[in-house]
Structure 1
Amino acid sequence: MDWSSLLPVFIVLSSLVPGLLIFALREDQNRLRVLLNITGVLLKLALVGLMLWGVDRGMEFRFAVPFLPGGGLVLQGDALSLQFVSLSSVLWLATTIYAIGYLEDSPLRSRFFGYFSLCVSATVGLALAGNLVTFLLFYELLTLTTFPLVVHRGTPQALRAGRVYLTYTLGGGALLLMGVALLHSLTGSPEFVPGGYLQPLLDEHRSSLILAFALMIGGLGVKAALVPLHGWLPQAMVAPAPVSALLHAVAVVKAGAFGIVRVVYDVYGVEPVQALGLNVPLLALAAATIIYGSIKALQQQELKKRLAYSTVSQVSYIILGVALMGPMAAVGALAHLVHQGLMKVTLFYCAGNFAETLGIHHIRELDGVGRRMPLTMAAFTLGALGMIGVPPTAGFISKWYLGLGALEVGWDGVLLVLVISGLLNAAYFLPLIYRGWFGRPPAEWPDERPLGTGRPGLGETHWMLLVPVLFTALLALLAGILAGTGFSPLAWSELIINREFGL
């Protein structure tokens, strides 16, 4: 067993081991806890960078341990998994720094950062999963490791949100388990392959394949927040801002969307999905979720809930692009997996900064906040304009490719969905931008309090809350401006389609 086969394991362990060690720390061992967090994330980034270098040069990274007839634990690094792992690792760095500043004076930090690291391990393991059995294992671990983060505050609202979260996600896990078990009974659990591996079963097991697809999409659709399986997401907003950012940008909703990408392309394949007539209902479900989420976001007066319903809408752009079954739409979908993560994590960081520094939780309280916190409001503005799809932001790039992809395969009506959702995005984001920059500031903010260097008159907020916001906002902007370069998320998405899917 050489280093290339062990590298996927080391990437998972780089957050798992620090997380387990953090659980054993006392609350007053802050420096050691920070050291373990930062060491783990930097090690993971280095290992992911090494794997990116290898995959770009055609190297194979695969670790396998058989433990089931016809299947086993398989971790592999391919272009698709590396895109999700890279996003997870970069945002783990930013969110770790943000969380350290956010929870500076909070209790139970060892418990929080322990589960936080385990959550990242589950996300990375899910991304590197080489077959459905391994994916299912990490998918369920993700549920178990995120639940303590959702209920971290221990308030009645948090505990109620946790119960709702468990009800939805464990139910979704049960559906996914049934779908995986049904496929396993037909084929075993082969490794994911470009184009899928179910083509030979189309004639003999058509009904079983349709049922398995419905079960798996139902299970994955819970975490991806597809309507009507999205009810847990707005309620989970009672969690601390770093958790909200993690749930929306990479860990949970992206895990569901990423799973749908794997099932469609690497288990079933484009031609079998079309032959079974499964792409049309998936496309309709994604389109309905996009419009519904946008309408619900427009109705929310609490900032984090508006952002939550925006996530319901925005993540379904990924599923829409997959369901269109064309190469250009697929490129747009995979690019949006990264673009949405960068933009949404920025927006939740900003919401956390507003809440922790000034006590702002509702939209009516945003008036004039740009004069008090101009850098945070500038980052919020970039994230919001990206969500609307204003050029040259990253959101414009992915939506442009989705529109061209719809025309490419003859689904012209999808353009109407994109236009309507874009107008709704503008309707619920532009008023926030206007209030922030042009509204009249109040005589005093709802709950202004000093945070480190963020004392009134000396700065906006604690530097550990401000730096991650500016970092992710800059990445979101550069992902759009540099989309035509060879190292952008768009270019990597094109590589995936060309190398992995052969579309």
Structure 2
Amino acid sequence: MEAVSTTHTVKSFYLLLAVLIPLVGSLVVMTQKNRPNLRELVSSCSSVLLFLVVLSFIPALKAGQTLVFPIFQLLPGLSITLRADGFSMIFALVASSLWVIAVFYSMGYMRAHDEPCQTRFNACFALAIFGAIGVAFADNLLTLYLFYEIVSVCTYPLVAHHQDKESYDGARKYIVYLTTTAKLFLLPALILIYVLVGNLDFPHTISTGILPADTADWLVIMLYFFCLFGFAKNGIMPFHHWLPSAMVAPTPVSALLHAVAVVKVGVFCTTRVMLYVFGVEIMTDLNLGIFTAYFVGFTIIMASIIALSKDNLKARLAYSTVSQLSYIILGVALLTPAAIEGGLIHIVNHAFAKITLFFCAGAIYIAAHKKYISEMSGLGRIMPFTFGAFAVASLSMIGVPPVAGFVSKWYLLVGSMDAHQVGILVILIVSTVLNVGYFAPVTYKAFFGKRPPGETETGIREAPLSMLIPLLIAVTVSVIIGIFPNFMMQFVRMVTG
């Protein structure tokens, strides 16, 4: 399998502009501590401008061009360089578009809940997007690594936002897990790859990777697992504990962690390295792909089982994320065109559905002050738009047509059959049943359950429009990309050919 070769490479300053927009936006936000309206105006304008710049790359990519922008060179073969290709656009479009929605939702949530330190929140939120866009447009492993670490550092204050013991404990676990795995596994792997190859540049196809053909098998295998575990943001067990712990953060941060930036950075980096550093041929020859598929298959099943036991809605969604992230890695690891396409498109499909679910969790908390599923019986009749959106996004997570998640599941199922992996097929079917098990009760209780004894409906209503409209937009997009998947699939097919 070989991706479509680009006709030529074009230098584009707009790549640097895309990275600088959230950075400059965050710096301006920091100066507007006493001007909340101006602060939020800067955040919203920055998000819209970034999205428009990312959209402007599409005509060039469809014409067969690869956009690059070298920033500076450290050593021969070692530079900080940006690149836009089909793979980049999958994540860049998700991060930039969801930042727009998340900014407007955050305004409503932070004000409705009277959250402290809103200036720091907005600035760090923008810095996290700065890191995510840098990851999306990284042309080599060094650039990828630097922006990956930026995301980790800039999201620490967001996880610790409430500044109480629970927040600091969750944030400490978050930063220790992510930075320790990166230093212990990822950084040594980068150094060894540079010594072996002489550079860290990503090739333009996914067939052969960059490692020399005479590299010892044991060394390739070691480097592969160092990279797989080094990108701990991908949520693979046993390096997943940081993710549920990070749920102490405000709901907009949880949405950022699960849909916009952090975990998507993890799976994007993991799949980028799988396909562009090791390549399909090496992974096939050493059976790394099938082993990885079954390895993450364990995460898919176990995280789903744990999700079933969680009564806290955000905790249930957190373990759902752990499970769903592994769908992406599983698809790529199967190494068949359909499976890779299913894995990569799930980056998009999961993002829109999961941000909807977290937005709904935040809306429920603001409107009804409920965190636990057992307390939500009957709320769907009072908050039909919120719980209706939750139901539709849940269907996407389960994989029911016509919502976006169905497209992912379809390609993954076809890809597993193409790879002749009946075991993977069983894992996908069992996990789908488990998805139903932990999502369906939420909707059922909300619409058909009886209000708990002694609870009144007085004062409970839909969340403010500033929160309700973004979540309805997100769930609508999830349905649209389920019915019309070809817009995003065109970038996925630039990868697989």
TM-score strictly above 0.5: yes
Name the structure 2 match of 1:501.
Answer: none
Verify the 8 A CA contact 2:313 2:361 in the aligned structure 1.
Answer: yes
Name the structure 2 match of 1:380.
Answer: 390
Q: Partners of 1:130 and 1:61 in 2: how far apart?
A: 10
1:119 aligned onto 2:118: no
1:274 aligned onto 2:281: no
1:6 aligned onto 2:6: no
Name the structure 2 match of 1:414.
Answer: 424
Name the structure 1 match of 2:31.
Answer: 24
1:211 aligned onto 2:228: no
1:474 aligned onto 2:476: yes
Q: Partners of 1:424 and 1:198 in 2: how far apart?
A: 36
Report Cα offsets for 1:417-462 as digits up to 9, x if no partner: 011001111111111110011111347769986xxxxxx5xx6121
Verify the 8 A CA contact 1:358 1:448 in the aligned structure 2.
Answer: no
Verify the 8 A CA contact 1:202 1:209 in the aligned structure 2.
Answer: no
SS in 2 for 1:103: helix
Verify the 8 A CA contact 1:357 1:448 in the aligned structure 2.
Answer: no
Within 5 A, what are the aligned runs for 1:82-161?
Answer: 82-104=89-111, 105-161=114-170
SS in 1 for 2:370: coil
Of all paired residues, the percent bearing the same amino acid is 37
**Displacement after TM superposition at 1:206 (Å):** 2.6
Name the structure 1 match of 2:4.
Answer: none
Report Cα offsets for 1:318-351 as digits up to 9, x if no partner: 0000110100001111111100001000000000
Aligned partner letter, 1:207? W
1:490 aligned onto 2:489: yes
**Displacement after TM superposition at 1:109 (Å):** 0.8
Q: Partners of 2:127 and 2:423 in 1: how far apart?
A: 42
TM-score by length of 2: 0.94
Aligned partner letter, 2:221? I
- Using the TM superposition, name which of 60-69 and 201-210 deviates more: 201-210
**Displacement after TM superposition at 1:371 (Å):** 1.1
Name the structure 2 match of 1:441.
Answer: 451
1:45 aligned onto 2:51: yes
Within 5 A, what are the aligned runs for 1:178-197?
Answer: 178-193=188-203, 194-195=205-206
Q: 1:176 to 1:493 in 2, by over 3 A?
A: same
SS in 1 for 2:115: coil
Name the structure 2 match of 1:173.
Answer: 182
Contiguous gaps of at least 5 residues in structure 1: 450-455, 499-503
Q: Partners of 1:335 and 1:378 in 2: how far apart?
A: 24
1:364 aligned onto 2:370: no
Q: Partners of 2:11 and 2:26 in 1: how far apart?
A: 24
Name the structure 2 match of 1:452.
Answer: none
Q: Partners of 1:243 and 1:344 in 2: how far apart?
A: 13
Q: Partners of 1:401 and 1:474 in 2: how far apart?
A: 22
By relative contact order (CA 8 Å, sep 6+), the higher-ranking structure is 2
Within 5 A, what are the aligned runs for 1:440-459?
Answer: 440-442=450-452
Alignment RMSD: 1.8
Aligned partner letter, 2:495? I
**Displacement after TM superposition at 1:397 (Å):** 1.2
1:33 aligned onto 2:50: no
Report Cα offsets for 1:37-83 as digits up to 9, x if no partner: 11101111111111122211223310112112321101001011011
Verify the 8 A CA contact 2:404 2:478 in the aligned structure 1.
Answer: yes
1:54 aligned onto 2:60: yes
Q: Partners of 2:435 and 2:126 in 1: how far apart?
A: 33
Report Cα offsets for 1:384-419 as digits up to 9, x if no partner: 111111111111111011000011121122110011
Q: Partners of 1:72 and 1:446 in 2: how far apart?
A: 62
Aligned partner letter, 1:71? L
Aligned partner letter, 1:107? P
Q: Partners of 1:191 and 1:7 in 2: how far apart?
A: 20
Name the structure 2 match of 1:453.
Answer: none
Name the structure 1 match of 2:6.
Answer: none
Q: Partners of 2:98 and 2:372 in 1: how far apart?
A: 26
Within 5 A, what are the aligned runs for 1:265-414?
Answer: 265-414=275-424
1:230 aligned onto 2:240: yes
Q: Partners of 1:84 and 1:446 in 2: how far apart?
A: 44
Q: Partners of 2:454 and 2:37 in 1: how far apart?
A: 35
Q: Partners of 1:338 and 1:480 in 2: how far apart?
A: 11
Aligned partner letter, 2:83? Q
Q: 1:448 to 1:68 in 2, by over 3 A?
A: farther
Verify the 8 A CA contact 1:23 1:111 in the aligned structure 2.
Answer: yes
Contiguous gaps of at least 5 residues in structure 2: 1-8
SS in 1 for 2:240: coil
